Amino acid sequence: MTLGSSSGKVAVLGAGSWGTSFSIVLADAGNDVTVWARREEVAESINESRENVDYLPGVELPAGIGATHDVEKALHGADVVVLATPSQTLRANLATWAPYVEDDAVLVSLMKGVELGTLNRMSEVIAQETGAGPERIAVISGPNLAKEIARREPAASVVACADESVAKRLQQRCHSPAFRPYTSVDVVGCELGGAYKNVIGLAVGMAVGLGFGDNTTASLITRGLAETARLATRLGANPLTLMGLAGLGDLVATCSSPLSRNRTFGEKLGQGRTVEEIYASTRQVAEGAKSCSSLRALAASHGVDAPIAEHVDDVVAGRLTTQEMMNSFIARDTKAETD
Ligand SMILES: NC(=O)C1=CN([C@@H]2O[C@H](COP(=O)(O)OP(=O)(O)OC[C@H]3O[C@@H](n4cnc5c(N)ncnc54)[C@H](OP(=O)(O)O)[C@@H]3O)[C@@H](O)[C@H]2O)C=CC1
Ligand SMILES: O=C(CO)COP(=O)(O)O
């Protein structure tokens, strides 16, 4: 099956906040979209009431979106397969789904995490589990808070694939009246920008929860970007990617917005809630709470200094309080800004 540039069938696997919101983008761009939902009642609700009541209540889904609980049905005839599950479940999901993916279909990751244990990025997990080559694996990442996208508020994003012609065709497939995608060939940079900003979002949330203001958050955002760029460029990313939508853009959106689950998770920690209480209070994923550990390990394995990932991981694991984290950031050995 060859990837078309105008329209076609797209399977979106995952009917959470972002899978559903991105389905709206795809439908608005003219695609025939089938969303796979893990729970049958979510698929039924989308088909019958045109609403995903659990994740996007009050948002009417366009006619171009259908839903199913049957993954084989979702994947049949799809030349684009969009993956929108939590990062830590992707490998197990693909083990079941891979046999039903059409030959030559392009697999697109919307996920912003790094796998625990293997320290693999999502594109690496996709390659390992499906056997797809880099020309069939893409990433879409940028400042794209799901609720704003669902309301069709204007936003830009990056479509990255090692094969630029594939990125260009995917760009056409998801260019809607409210969503402007740019192409890139820097898959590593886009993925690490997306995963790392969640960890920085947690740190910023903690600072906000402790009652600190804009100097603290701006300092964390800026040093967070430096930390992200240090690791990403060591792994081959283009530094300009980290200055772009999938780096700085997403970092700013996440760290500024009360809509961000990662920032909110951090804020609750800063207010004194426990990790267990926060997990129990929501069904939604805050990727940074897991990826802080994998990014810390990834940075350590490449000899890269990653103080924010280390401290956030220590807080999430209960080894530090949020106030101790902030004190420790300031007390670290002094150095030049550009080191
Ligand atoms: N929300 C956002 O604004 C954005 C999110 N992202 C990224 O997209 C990815 C998905 O996030 P998002 O949609 O927001 O997450 P949500 O928490 O909103 O939804 C998660 C979805 O994954 C499903 N799911 C949970 N566990 C499993 C499993 N074991 N196997 C298969 N499916 C499972 C859930 O199903 P169920 O309802 O049955 O539990 C639900 O449909 C994340 O990596 C996130 O970082 C990227 C950009 C924007
Ligand atoms: O990735 C996002 C915005 O681009 C969503 O961030 P959260 O997962 O923190 O809600």
In whole angstroms, what is the distance from residue 121 CA to residue 67 CA? 28
Decide whether any atom of ligand 1 lies within 6 Å of the 17 Cβ: yes
Alpha helices in 156-287 (DSSP H): 164-173, 187-209, 214-234, 239-242, 250-256, 261-270, 275-281
Distance CA 189, CA 229 (A): 8
Instruction: Name the binding residues for NADPH.
Output: 17-18, 38-39, 55, 112, 146, 261, 285, 287
- For 333, half-sphere exposure in the C-beta direction (CA atoms, 13 angstrom radius) is 4
How close is the Cα of 334 to the center of ligand 2, in Å? 32
Could you read off the pLDDT tens digit of each residue along the chain, which spans 339 residues?
Answer: 678 767 789 999 999 999 999 999 999 999 999 999 999 999 999 999 999 999 999 999 999 999 999 999 999 999 999 999 999 999 999 999 999 999 999 999 999 999 999 999 999 999 999 999 999 999 999 999 999 999 999 999 999 999 999 999 999 999 999 999 999 999 999 999 999 999 999 999 999 999 999 999 999 999 999 999 999 999 999 999 999 999 999 999 999 999 999 999 999 999 999 999 999 999 898 999 999 999 999 999 999 999 999 999 999 999 999 999 999 999 999 999 998
Find out whether the beta carbon of 39 lies less than 6 Å from any atom of ligand 1: yes
Check residue 3 and give its pLDDT.
Answer: 84
The Cα–Cα gap between 272 and 268 comes to 6
**Residue ranges of domains in the chain:** 9-185, 188-331
Protein residue with its CA nearest to atom 42 in ligand 1? 111
Catalytic residues, by residue number, are 197
Determine if ligand 1 sits within 6 Å of the CB of residue 250: no
**How far does the centroid of ligand 1 lie from the alpha carbon of residue 85, in Å?**
4
The DSSP string of 108-137 is EE----B-TTT--BHHHHHHHHH---GGGE
pTM comes to 0.97
Binding pocket residue ranges, ligand 2, CB within 6 Å: 112, 143-145, 198, 201, 250, 253-254, 260-262
The answer to whether 123 touches 153, Cβ cutoff 8 Å, is no
Strand 9-13 with 179-184, pairing: unpaired
Q: Which ligand is nearest to the CA of 266?
A: 2
Quote the DSSP letter at residue 160. Answer: E
Beta bridge partners of 160: 139, 184
CA distance 183 to 165: 9
CATH topology of domain 188-331: N-(1-d-carboxylethyl)-l-norvaline Dehydrogenase; domain 2 (1.10.1040)
pLDDT of 1 reads: 65
Ligand 1 atom nearest residue 54's Cα: 37
Could you tell me the strand order of the sheet in which 65-68 lies? 65-68, 32-36, 9-13, 80-83, 106-109, 137-141, 155-161, 179-184
Query: Matching CATH topology for 9-185 and 188-331?
Result: no
> Domain 9-185 falls in which CATH fold?
Rossmann fold (3.40.50)
| Interface predicted TM-score (ipTM) | 0.99
User: Structure tokens of 284?
Assistant: 């939604």
Residue whose CB lies within 8 A of the most ligand 1 atoms, among 12, 13, 18, 202, for a mutation test: 18
